[in-house]
Amino acid sequence: MASRLFSLSKSFLNPKFPNPRSFSTSFLITKTPKKHKPKRPKPDSPRTRSVTPDSNKIPHFESLIARDAKHRFLTKTKEFLSKQPEQILRLDDAGKLYRELGFPRGRKVTKFISRYPLLFTSYRHSDNKIWLGFTDFMDQLLLEERSIMEAMEEDRVTRIRKLLMMSKNKRIPLSKIYHKRLIFGIPEDFRDKIGKYPDYFRLVVEDDGKQILELVNWDPSLAVSALEKEFLVNEDKVKKAFKFPVKYGKDLGLEENDVKKLNLLNTLPLVSPYSDGWKLDSWSLEAEKYRVGIIHEFLSLTLEKRALIHHIVEFKEEFSLTRQTYEMLKRQPWTFYLAGTEMNWAVFLKDGYDENGNLIDKDPLLVFNEKLYKFAQMQEEEEEEEEISGFREKLRGD
């Protein structure tokens, strides 16, 4: 037995057999794959710091913000391409338009195009350049969207009229309405249709060339806010939706119940957003009620009953809003929900949603958008051929 072990040891020392230590291990993976590495905590800054503490977050509102971020490329590229001649764009140019198309600077646009194979396509043109465009299937979806826009034209006109009626001087720069048109469902070509409604709108060109949209006639039937309508139906619910604590001296010695009664007296009625509330002392309680009413009505006119803060601030001058808008909204957590980061946050109108986070009143255009997001998540047409074929048949039938 010993002789066998000795002979084996000699064989391992024989020059014909390489030393095990001389084997190269360069082919082995010695680094931890990136996906398994622990993520570094993001630096604390307004860009990353949540506007709402984790303990107070409402998941269904936060999920909508995450969905918007996920489909940002789809939303912005769809809008940008739709305005291009023949709805196409050279791929070389697309790679430079990261802001317009909604993808991070330094990333390859082809990576984002490949995420939506049913909606976007790239092809080599006769000029030997690669171009970006819509798929045939996306062209059909856009026809459906256009049909919805045409059917909802009267509703969109009413929304614009109410915005003008809320504004300080019953006039708003046309560019502001155009830039924020998507949250109200206003079509791209609405500027060309203003002439169809001379009884409602007047387009004025100022000396500097700025176009201003003015209200022609005041309609009392439209000067009723969504909150005032709700008050007639459920007065108690509206009373509990807002709180405007009254400042009083400590020497009054009020008990807790007396304080609540005093605050209730100063909760309602809110100052109508269709009144001349902008004339009030900007630091008064009544002025704050007016501004809260303005934002409530503004959000009620949006399709999704929510808006990013820059959408609201865009109309700061027209709606007499102050720099304290953020603090003002935080004082009304029963009505408004703030989501996102401190640098880019959104405000939700809570009473526009049910307890499950679903919109109570869903505009046809939102139904279309939900369907678009569904198709956007399909990676292969073959996997959903039956559903897509059914949709195409429906379009032919319509």
pLDDT digits (tens, 9 = 90+) for 173-207: 999 999 999 999 999 999 999 999 999 999 999 99
What is the gyration radius of the CA atoms in the chain, in angstroms?
Answer: 30
pLDDT, tens digit (0-9, with 9 covering 90-100), for 212-237: 999 999 999 999 999 889 888 887 78
Burial 282-299 (b: 16+ CB within 10 A, else e): eeeeebbbbbbbbbbbbb
In this prediction the pTM is 0.81
| Pairwise CA distance, residues 311 & 352, whole Å | 18
For 262, residues 6+ apart whose C-beta sits below 8 A from its C-beta are 246, 248, 254
Residue corresponding to tokens 């996920």? 70
Q: Which of 32-41, 254-263, 325-334 has the lowest mean pLDDT?
A: 254-263
Residue 249's pLDDT is 53
Give the residue-averaged pLDDT of 132-138.
Answer: 96
Domains annotated on the chain, with CATH: 51-134 (1.10.10), 140-368 (no CATH)
Q: Which residues pair with 124 in a beta bridge?
A: 130
pLDDT, tens digit (0-9, with 9 covering 90-100), for 281-319: 888 888 999 999 999 999 999 999 999 998 999 999 999
Question: How many residues make up the chain in this entry?
Answer: 398
pLDDT of residue 25 exceeding 90: no
